[in-house]
Structure 1
């Protein structure tokens, strides 16, 4: 049976107005359009392009930046986003490319305003081509930005997701974010356990920060989760069980969140899928799942007023959106 919290804990989720969600989605789309051009250049995906091709892309970058200001979206972009868009073509730095982790945030915002039919499972991503097509925005055309946002300006504009749908997705975002952070916490705990034990015991007695505590702080793991460090190997299976029993996570495998992976083709030449435990994935796939959960939680947190202003740098520090995390809230 799906979990239902007490009325004292469930105070209702109040979204920002639809036009604000649309403005944020539009700003993200502009930055991600620029990200696509810069990433292609960085990775050398230019084929047999000529100097004219490079000039064309440079003009496209200039047009995207101009569209930001001509549409008035600069008032809703963050200082970091404006700075990224104002840089000349191929002048991005490492911190700018990291913004490409937030396609999932744009997907959540589009779902909230009715431009995406569903939020995909947390082991798969929103379709990027569909994200760009569903808004009707042409990044170099300011009029398309204006039309997209204006379509959500009507005073009678209603929310496109009901409270039950929203609550279910918020709970899922919290659960998958918790699982990703717990895995990171487990890895860090195992990695530095010996070094932490080697520290002078006098330091602990004096109340100084241990190596474990300092590492967790630098990784942006919230204080509430840090307290579980010593028992995280016990807390993970307990949290998985609670999330499954409450209907937040649909299925488990091997006592862990189930991840659907595509296997080699069968004898008939058809690909097949199999469920594997979350913890069985390699480091690269675990990192990909962490980024999906982190970006979606960022979008829900901002959309529900738990984060203001928009700041992806704080994604790793966000706690629960519910008064108590959906995984650990007491049953009614």
Structure 2
């Protein structure tokens, strides 16, 4: 997860074109490292204040100060406030609202970053809230075996569907709502994976993982599904596998899991943007790799020093992915 002004993590945000560096492409590709000149001395502005990045000239606004905010849950100062994860947007449909995690629950902000209110405690850090792509006032979240929705304008909570056949449902924390705004991939009781369609209130075919351990579920732009298994290797139930929306197995995409996101390439292809650092058959060292879902073809976009780990955010069909690098040892930004 990404934290604002963290003193313990070096973070660099790299904008990566979905075409490998050095290929013929109309946009500018630059693999240089631009280090902040005041990394060790810079003091952030007060909450609500802005500053201009000295390298890129971009205006950056600070919107939280956790240590001065009181937790609605514990009554103590909040140790941190942040976005939930790199693979879902904290902003709503028209960018007028923003969700941020206040450790154990979510806070609601306006599109300029002004705090509005704490959300109900049941919208907690495990509830996986996802903004609707059709109604700017609505987000969906999980409560036990129910998919619920919350209207930020009226504060009304309603049940979208109760999956009574399961004790609990989950999207495993990383999956977003699909591109068409009408489908979720969910797992019942941490085992039975399926696609749910909101508009028809219908549940698709169920895939039984058989008790095999898996890390994440993603729903792709075309409503296909990926499952990332804990086991690495070239066999079934290894690495990242692709299924269609009816949970029919299609192919293995990679031999290992890793931080990733799904999007469309500039030509409309579904692609996975993924770090191959754990791949036993890697095509590059610590690379950010584009994987075409139609056939599993891999293209390295950029590589990083082994001291760096990454998170990946892939906007819709933009031809770009944002890659955040981080290193808990806090090395100098110019060291790798």
TM-score (norm 1): 0.29
Which protein is bigger by CA-based radius of gyration?
Answer: 1
User: Going by fraction, where is strand more abundant, 1 or 2?
Assistant: 2
Higher RCO (CA-CA < 8 Å; seq separation 6+): 1
TM-score (norm 2): 0.28
User: Going by fraction, where is helix more abundant, 1 or 2?
Assistant: 1
